[in-house]
């Protein structure tokens, strides 16, 4: 990679530099580079693919919705307003996409050493054919170049989807979603290419301000009148069935803790009723969330949806900013997570159930070797998702492999799961994960801890076979295990 015209992606990028390891890593990488992308968890809007309209402009595609990028610029004193992040009160923010792009491009140096830099470089060079580094000087040229490309038919969402080699993409959808976009995609023959994921967080965290609105929506979408907790459970189950019918493979759960302690039906009912009255305490609401996590494992053991848990993030650290901008503008901060005590009731009940597949994610790397690998290394229901969010980085992925493989091996992980919001970065993120895994495996070969044929087979498994298997129906999964 060089600055100015000629900027390009180096074929050895993100591979270890050690001259013994690198040739091995290249050879391992070669086996996975052209495999299809299996993207089983992400936040791409299904509507974008359903409508397949051209993307609007470079800033609204690449800058404004990318919380990684926004938070870094904010941390260095750029106001949210200047980045076009909308205000809840509708107050004025920058609306000129070219200005927003300039604000970003002139601060390219801030991203040195970050995964954002790696992904964006891949997107700019490989997806859009940019050949010079962003800077105050190049900002306008790049903007014009990108805008020009976005207008072309081959840069529409479905064309990019094909070009990216995506075999299947899971979106993330509220439990109360109509799934209309997925229906439209299915009508176009895309049923198995874009599948929904069942996300009931809004319903399970019963002290949210909008919870009662969401509850009414659940009644409407499920067609079940909810008079109490038992109806609520039936309605949730009905929605899960709808998602399953639409091709969903998994549910997704964001909780502050990993607690999954069940309540008695009577106690769950009491908390539910208080929530309906708006009098629920924070402690009761947390207990209800934990209970619903346990219930989700029970449901999953029956309907086969893979249970993805993303715990340990304190949302909305700065109430002031969130009050002005709403959630998801960069103020979600990880906290320590106790998987061992938290998940114990769930795992005692369902950890050996052939119907349950549970995928654990973390942003607390302290738990890699202490908790996650030991749990995944014994409970058949548990798999470890890829290092998530702040840890979805070259060094984070390397540390993950170095810490969890000892006890969990490779086959109790899910392979790469991307969690992408920025559609165009999907190939960049999978590319990076394959490179990091190739580098890790190459090191094992170079240290004579693994044979090269094993390393190559494992790389292919991690890139393609394992994620497919991890998110397959449990029947298929069992067949695989016994193959």
Nearest approach, Cβ of residue 120 and a second copy (Å): 12
Of residues 238 and 472, the one with the C-beta less far from a second copy:
472
C-alpha span between 344 and 349 (Å, rounded): 9
For 450-466, b where at least 16 C-beta lie within 10 A, e where not — what string?
eeeeebbebbbbbbbbb
> At 37, is the secondary structure helix, strand, or coil?
strand
- Nearer residue to a second copy within complex by CB, 87 or 317: 317
What minimum distance in Å lies between the beta carbon of 450 and a second copy? 6
DSSP 134: -
CB of 105 to a second copy, least distance (A): 15
Q: How far is C-alpha 415 from the chain's CA centre?
A: 13
Q: Least distance in Å: CB of 447 to a second copy?
A: 6
Residue 217, strand partner residues: none
Nearer to a second copy, 66 or 214 (CB): 66
**DSSP H or E segment with residue 412:** none
Query: Which one, 41 or 133, has the nearer CB to a second copy?
Result: 133
Q: How far is the CB of 462 from a second copy (least distance, A)?
A: 11
Tokens found for residue 164: 């990216």
State in angstroms the smallest separation of the CB of 350 from a second copy.
11
Q: Which is nearer to a second copy, 196 or 304 (CB)?
A: 304
Residue closer to a second copy (CB basis): 47 or 354 = 354
Phi/psi for 413 (5° steps) reads -105, 170
Q: Report in angstroms how near the CB of residue 337 gets to a second copy at its nearest.
A: 9
**Which helix (H) or strand (E) is 199 found in, with range?**
strand 198-199
Q: Cβ distance 311 to 256 under 8 Å? A: yes
Q: Give, in order, the Cα–Cα distances in Å from 22 to each of 14, 28, 84, 461.
A: 10, 10, 42, 20
Nearest to 272 by CA among 232, 312, 237: 232
Q: What are phi and psi of 465, to 5 degrees?
A: -70, -45
Angle ∠(325,329,334) on CA atoms, nearest 5: 130
Q: How far is the CB of 453 from a second copy (least distance, A)?
A: 7
Which of 268, 359, 347 shows the shortest CA–CA distance to 310? 359
| DSSP for residue 36 | P
């Amino acid at each position: 990679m060089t600055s100015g015209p000629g900027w390009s992606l180096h074929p050895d990028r993100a591979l270890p530099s050690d001259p013994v390891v690198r040739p091995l890593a290249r050879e391992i990488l070669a086996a996975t580079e052209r495999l299809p992308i299996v993207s089983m968890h992400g936040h791409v809007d299904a509507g974008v693919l359903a409508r397949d309209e051209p993307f609007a402009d470079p800033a609204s595609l690449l800058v404004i919705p990318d919380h990684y990028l926004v938070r870094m610029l904010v941390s260095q004193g750029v106001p949210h307003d200047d980045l076009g992040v909308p205000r809840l009160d509708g107050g004025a923010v920058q609306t000129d996409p070219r200005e927003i792009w300039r604000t970003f491009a002139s601060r390219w140096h801030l991203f040195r050493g970050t995964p954002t830099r790696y992904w964006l470089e891949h997107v700019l060079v490989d997806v859009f054919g940019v050949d010079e580094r962003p800077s105050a000087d190049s900002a306008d040229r790049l903007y014009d170049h990108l805008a020009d490309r976005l207008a072309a038919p081959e840069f529409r969402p479905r064309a990019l989807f094909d070009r990216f080699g995506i075999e299947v993409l899971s979106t993330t959808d509220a439990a109360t979603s109509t799934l209309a976009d997925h229906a439209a995609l299915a009508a176009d023959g895309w049923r198995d290419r874009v599948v929904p994921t069942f996300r009931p967080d809004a319903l399970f965290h019963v002290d949210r301000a909008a919870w009662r609105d969401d509850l009414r929506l659940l009644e409407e979408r499920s067609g079940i009148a909810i008079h109490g907790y038992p109806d609520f459970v039936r309605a949730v189950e009905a929605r899960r069935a709808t998602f399953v019918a639409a091709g969903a493979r998994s549910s997704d759960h964001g909780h502050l803790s990993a607690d999954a302690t069940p309540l008695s039906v009577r106690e769950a009912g009491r908390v539910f009723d208080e929530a309906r009255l708006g009098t629920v305490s924070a402690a009761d609401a947390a207990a209800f969330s934990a209970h619903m996590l346990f219930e989700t494992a029970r449901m999953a053991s029956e309907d086969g949806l893979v249970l993805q848990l993303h715990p340990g993030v304190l949302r909305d650290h700065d109430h002031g900013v969130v009050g002005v901008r709403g959630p998801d503008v960069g103020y979600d901060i990880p906290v320590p997570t106790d998987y061992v005590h938290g998940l114990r009731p769930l795992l005692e009940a369902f950890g050996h159930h052939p119907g349950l597949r549970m995928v654990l994610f973390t942003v607390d790397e302290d738990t890699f070797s202490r908790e996650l690998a030991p749990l995944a290394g014994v409970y058949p229901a548990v798999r470890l998702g890829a290092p998530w969010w702040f840890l979805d980085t070259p060094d984070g992925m390397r540390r993950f492999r170095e810490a969890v493989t000892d006890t969990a091996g490779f086959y109790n992980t899910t392979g790469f799961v991307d969690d992408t919001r920025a559609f165009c970065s999907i190939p960049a993120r999978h590319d990076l994960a394959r490179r990091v895994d190739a580098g890790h495996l190459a090191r094992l070969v170079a240290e004579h801890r693994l044979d090269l044929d094993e390393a190559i087979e494992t790389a292919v498994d991690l890139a393609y076979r394992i994620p497919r298997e991890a998110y397959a129906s449990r029947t298929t999964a069992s067949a695989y295990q016994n193959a």
